[in-house]
Amino acid sequence: MPLNWTEQQKLAITEKGKNVLVSAAAGSGKTAVLVERVIGLVTDPSSPVPIDRLLIVTFTNAAANGMQVKIREALKTMLDQNPDSEYLAKQLTLFPRAMITTVHSFCQTLIRNNFHRLGIAADFEIGDETSLSLLRQKAFDTVIENRYENPTHAFDSLVGGFGGKRDDSALFGIVLSLFFFTQSTENPKAWLKSARDDYFSGSGIKKWAGYILSCAEVEAMSMAGEYEKALTVIESAIGLDNYRDTFIYERDMLLSLADSFKTDWDRAREALSCVEFDKLPRKKKDSDDSAAAYVQKIRNGVKKHISKLSDTFFAPLSDIERDNGFLGAVVGELCDIVSDFSDEYALEKRNKNLLDFNDLEHLALLLLQDTDAADEIKNRFDYVLVDEYQDTNGVQDAIFRAVSRGDNLFMVGDVKQSIYGFRNARPDIFTNRADDFSDSPEKGKLIFLPHNYRSANPIIDFVNGIFERLMSTAYGGVDYTKGHALVCGRAEKVEFSRVELHIIDKRLEESEELTEDEQLTAEIVREAMFTAGRIKRLVEVEKPEITDPTTGETRPIRYSDIAILARKNKNVVSIFSEQLKSLGVPFYCEDDTGNFLISGEISPVMSLLKIIDNPLSDIPLLATMRSPLFMFSDEELALIRSEAEGPFYYAVQKSSNPKCKAFLDTLARYRKMSFDESIEFLIQTILSETGYLSFSSSMPGGKTRAANLRLLCERAGRFEAGGYKGISDFISYTEAMEEFSQGYSVAKIAGQNDNAVSIMSIHKSKGLEFPVVFFVRCGERFNKTDLSAGIQYDVELGLGCNFVDTDRMIKYPSLAKLAIARKKLYSLLSEEMRIMYVALTRARDMLYVVGSCVKVNDKLEAWEGADCTPFSIAAQNTFLEWLGMALGKKVRSFAEVHSASDIVIQSRVTASAQDIKPQGAESAEYSEEVAKRLSYTYPYLNSKYIPAKLPVSRAVGYTPRSLNLKKPDFMQKTDRITAALRGTVIHFVLQNIDIQKTGNQEDIQKQIEDMVMKGMLEAELAKVVNAGDIENFFKSNAGIRMKRSPRVEREVKFFVDVPAREIMDISDEAVADETVLLQGVVDCWFEEDGEIVIIDYKTGDSDKPEYKKQLDFYAKGLSKTLGKKVRETVLYPLI
């Protein structure tokens, strides 16, 4: 075993004699640990385990193949070092028999080896998704037709309340969704029976009411906590004394309400009905307006949530029990339909000798639990090792338990990266087992691997700072502060690392003339323009050097080092691709949005197939003739149309155009061929004879187009291999795939290994890493539409639906639905938080977070004062809002705000000037006019020397200069801590220090050490701060006055317009009064008798005369921004 394993890794590699669960953080090298554990078991000197007696399971083919390669290579390396070892040679011989595989492949192997015990054919096949979709539709139609022939009142209520207006597609969607959900449970039929029984046994109401009461208690306590925060502000703010008694009364009312939720439903409902919020008393004239707004916002939020709670406790328990009889009949009918559908679908599959992936899992579990083969299979494996354990569902976990013996199961994963809830993955399986092992060590060993070997320290610090405040057992599934925080384990020194937050102000995009979709598109375009520009600048201008993750060598950054990650792919891929393309940035993306059948090259072929099947169909006929296959012009088609009435095909037959005769001959030949040859052969012939494949290959994106056409041939072959025949059925087959399976994926071609930026969803990025990550679309709202669906279900809470009385036109959510929807909201927010964790932990060196929002300044102000309580976390709707509130007072130091116009300008400037080529005059006759125009003198020529915007630090003594770029910091050889960095660190400490705890050096030093402990400040940088210098400041006249002030603000940005003559010497009066936008950051200001005192800290030479002018600009800017008089400016030298 190598010497560089951590103690936790060594434990994970060697622990035996009990089940082991390894909680492996992002970038912790869990695959390496798993491989080393396998090698350790195989080569254990005291009790070696042959490789074919290990079961190693993961969830994707790529992961399984990667594991096989790594284990095989490790064994080969050991054999090279011990060439005489017969045992090692034998392990390599046995390797093809080793079960290093996916869950489904393992299940399929078990079933094929034991088909006779399951009563299925030995030559079964796994159905492709399109064939299975058609079988599911057929099974549903059979079941539902039987119901219509023998309707019951419960069925009529189900269809009337939840079916579609025109057809049964809505009901089919409900049945299908519930079917797939139950298939992820250990026993689907048992779950359906339990869900039905909940309505008749009385256990359901107790379960649902109990869950809502427990949630309400937590929420009431959280709201009381919000009031505690408000009271703290009221106590310290000026002029809010009148609020104090009201807030104390309402806080106590909330605490009492929380106690009532510990009793029973009706008493809690009564207590909730008694909650009243009186009108707030008037605040005093000299009150702190911002403090008043802050506490009022808290109060309004609580009032709004209390109103929602009142809606939840909508009826007394007696009314709910009365409704339960009607609801039970509807739910029971739905459960029966799902059960019958499951049986009918199984029969359809059996008739075709097909199985699906759910069948593989359930049949394998049946083998392991209820057949004489169970012990035989279990005894075949000495150890069972499961990778990505956080992604298991109920039936998969049951398989792992059944195939193991209780002391030989090794599970590794990270619950913080469980992001497959849409596949019914259950992170609670991981956390429940972790809690079980933690509480009862004799049941198993829980091991944490917190070290991250991927990301640079600034990224680690950023991630920890975010999730220490956000992630808890309520939201995310784990308490991040208890063993889940990352520890930087990256060994090499990182020369260049950064974390940046970029917020795009959406104000200029809002317009009454734009639809909601158009506004969304404009928002994505802005982010894409900004991102593309930053990437171009990073690679072509800044050119930072990074450590190659493969070779370990230092080299300049490449486009292939960069990934753009987004929560959703809808519109993102196409828009971001266009912006990258416009700047000449190469990119690669996997767009799984299912546009195969409507893609430009596929649509003409499908149209031709449709008229081969039915030439009287006008739309596909016109599309075919107008396409590159036959190339009729619009004028020709119009003339053909004028020659005859009726279907367009008749007009083609009567046309005198010779192209029509050639077209009809070709069509007739293809129609005859469709009866005699396979569809795959027909399509290949069409592509070959028309030259359409070559034509498509020559177009932009030709490789992908050609690959899509070949893929169409392959899918036709698979269709016929499944026992289907005929063009008509093939068209129905493909259209069904489009409708029921969200479309075919387009063909994938090589590209991810090129020097190109990767664009992908966060889900696709899981398990990957990139030197540079742009995490975009962070301002997009979470999708909560599923929470309003009429029918809800949960593994533990069962099934709930709306109460719908079509006769009385009444509809409202049942108790069960309210409980389940509430739990699903917690699950949704937890999953979104884990998705954000995955996105932020993909970056090695640089992380850019990009999002859009409105009222940016209001958001920043709110985030600076935000506390991350369960109540406030649940109130947010975007990643950006979570990030902002988690950053808190540090948000302005991370955030850079951009207007829409800024981004347009940046995009134009980023376009390479090299693309602009000079062109000569067309002839000599224009030379005189050209000379005249070139000799023209612009009257405001000197305005080019006037900058549009300047930082205050450069405005003093400004002189125009040519562009003379200094080398970026990462290209200069400097000391680790420069004078500039020392000043930045001291400013940071003064920005974040609690000014009321600065009585002596010891108090100040303790605060600095706390900043280090919280990850706000690196220990090495903290050493440059002299606590004595800071103590002297707070004991100075300015410091004492600051501590007495009712309002102190630090690091405040401002903007102010000033005439150009005030910052530079200008002799040209024509431009002297042009304005320059000055921007600056005031170190600190405090209020004194209603006026402002500005403090500017200087850590260098504070006697420079230009500092006086700089302070004057600060005073002018801040006075204009705040609308208050500046009493005094203080320049304080710290060192």
Question: For the domain that residue 158 is a member of, what is the CATH number?
Answer: 1.10.274.50
Kindly state the DSSP code that residue 968 receives in the 8-state scheme.
P
**Angle formed at CA 398 by CA 396 and CA 401, multiple of 5 degrees:** 115
Q: How far is CA 84 from CA 89, 91, 94, 480, in A?
A: 9, 13, 17, 49
In this structure, is residue 474 part of a structural domain?
A: no
pLDDT at 816 over 50: yes
SS3 726: coil
In this structure, is residue 543 part of a structural domain?
A: yes
Q: What is the distance between the alpha carbons of residues 853 and 636, in angstroms, rounded to a whole number?
A: 51
The answer to whether 855 and 210 have CB atoms below 8 angstroms apart is no
- Residues 286, 152: one domain? no
Q: What is the distance between the alpha carbons of residues 195 and 798, in angstroms, rounded to a whole number?
A: 5
| Better pLDDT: 287 or 299 | 299
Residue 1118 is part of a domain; what is its CATH number? 3.90.320.10
- Residues 623, 635: one domain? yes
The answer to whether 563 and 731 have CB atoms below 8 angstroms apart is no
Question: For residue range 636-688, what is the model confidence (pLDDT) as tens digits?
Answer: 999 999 888 889 999 999 999 999 999 999 999 999 999 888 899 999 999 98
Q: What is the percentage of the chain residues whose pLDDT exceeds 70?
A: 87
pLDDT at 971 over 60: no
- Check residue 965 and give its pLDDT: 39
- Check residue 1105 and give its pLDDT: 66
- Residues 690, 730: one domain? yes
In this structure, is residue 572 part of a structural domain?
A: yes
Q: Which one-letter amino acid corresponds to residue 60?
A: T
In this structure, is residue 1104 part of a structural domain?
A: yes
pLDDT class of 403 with cuts at 50, 70, 90: very high
Q: What is the distance between the alpha carbons of residues 568 and 1005, in angstroms, rounded to a whole number?
A: 46
Q: What is the mean pLDDT of residues 92-114?
A: 96
Q: What is the mean pLDDT of residues 426-441?
A: 96
Residue 410 is part of a domain; what is its CATH number? 3.40.50.300
Q: Which domain covers residue 166, as residue numbers?
A: 129-184+319-352
Structure tokens at 906: 């940046």
- Check residue 103 and give its pLDDT: 96
Q: What is the mean pLDDT of residues 155-164?
A: 91
- Residues 1126, 1026: one domain? yes
The answer to whether 615 and 623 have CB atoms below 8 angstroms apart is no
Q: What is the distance between the alpha carbons of residues 272 and 223, in angstroms, rounded to a whole number?
A: 14
- Check residue 999 and give its pLDDT: 86
In this structure, is residue 191 part of a structural domain?
A: no
- Residues 820, 889: one domain? yes
Question: For residue range 913-927, what is the model confidence (pLDDT) as tens digits?
Answer: 334 333 343 444 444
pLDDT class of 867 with cuts at 50, 70, 90: confident
Residue 652 is part of a domain; what is its CATH number? 1.10.486.10
Structure tokens at 267: 């008493």
- Residues 149, 93: one domain? no
Question: Mean pLDDT of all residues in the chain?
Answer: 87
Single out the residue in 285, 314, 343 at which a domain terminates: 314
Q: What is the distance between the alpha carbons of residues 829 and 470, in angstroms, rounded to a whole number?
A: 11
In this structure, is residue 370 part of a structural domain?
A: yes
Name which of 944, 923, 946, 927 is nearest 935 in CA terms: 927
The number of distinct structural domains making up the chain is: 6
- Check residue 956 and give its pLDDT: 53
SS3 319: helix
- Residues 85, 160: one domain? no
- Check residue 1016 and give its pLDDT: 74
pLDDT at 749 over 50: no
What is the C-alpha R_g of the chain?
35
Name which of 465, 504, 500 is nearest 485 in CA terms: 465
- Residues 661, 536: one domain? no
- Check residue 1073 and give its pLDDT: 63
- Check residue 936 and give its pLDDT: 44
Torsion (CA) 1029, 1031, 1037, 1040 in degrees, nearest 10:
150
pLDDT class of 740 with cuts at 50, 70, 90: very low
Q: Which residues of 223-235 are buried (b: 16+ CB within 10 A; e: fewer)?
A: bbbbbebbbebbe
In this structure, is residue 818 part of a structural domain?
A: yes
Question: For residue range 570-619, what is the model confidence (pLDDT) as tens digits?
Answer: 678 889 988 998 888 988 886 554 455 555 688 899 999 999 999 998 99
pLDDT at 948 over 70: no
Q: What is the distance between the alpha carbons of residues 556 and 145, in angstroms, rounded to a whole number?
A: 66
- Check residue 736 and give its pLDDT: 64
Q: What is the mean pLDDT of residues 706-733?
A: 81
DSSP string of 256-303, one letter each residue: HHHHHTTS-HHHHHHHHHT---PPPPPPPTT--HHHHHHHHHHHHHHH
Q: What is the distance between the alpha carbons of residues 203 and 815, in angstroms, rounded to a whole number?
A: 13
- Residues 379, 328: one domain? no
- Residues 535, 670: one domain? no
Name which of 720, 730, 728 is nearest 597 in CA terms: 730
Residues in the chain: 1135
Burial of residue 779 (number of CB atoms within 10 Å: 0-12, 13-18, 19+): buried
Neighbouring C-alpha atoms within 13 Å toward the C-beta of 381: 28
pLDDT at 20 over 90: yes
DSSP string of 469-518, one letter each residue: HH-BTTTBSS-TTTTTS-EE---S--S--EEEEEEEE-GGG--TTS-HHH
Single out the residue in 297, 314, 331 at which a domain terminates: 314
pLDDT at 847 over 90: yes
Pairing type for strands 20-24 and 445-449 reads parallel
The answer to whether 520 and 571 have CB atoms below 8 angstroms apart is yes
Question: For residue range 1080-1132, what is the model confidence (pLDDT) as tens digits?
Answer: 888 999 999 989 999 998 876 656 666 777 888 888 888 887 888 999 999 88
The answer to whether 421 and 184 have CB atoms below 8 angstroms apart is no
User: Which conformational region is residue 936 in: left (phi greater than 0), alpha (psi within -120 to 50 degrees), or beta?
Assistant: beta
Q: What is the distance between the alpha carbons of residues 623 and 607, in angstroms, rounded to a whole number?
A: 7
- Residues 382, 347: one domain? no
- Check residue 1101 and give its pLDDT: 64
Q: What is the percentage of the chain residues whose pLDDT exceeds 90?
A: 62
pTM of the model: 0.73
Structure tokens at 955: 């405005």
- Residues 414, 270: one domain? no
Q: What is the mean pLDDT of residues 137-147?
A: 97
In this structure, is residue 1051 part of a structural domain?
A: yes
pLDDT at 493 over 50: yes
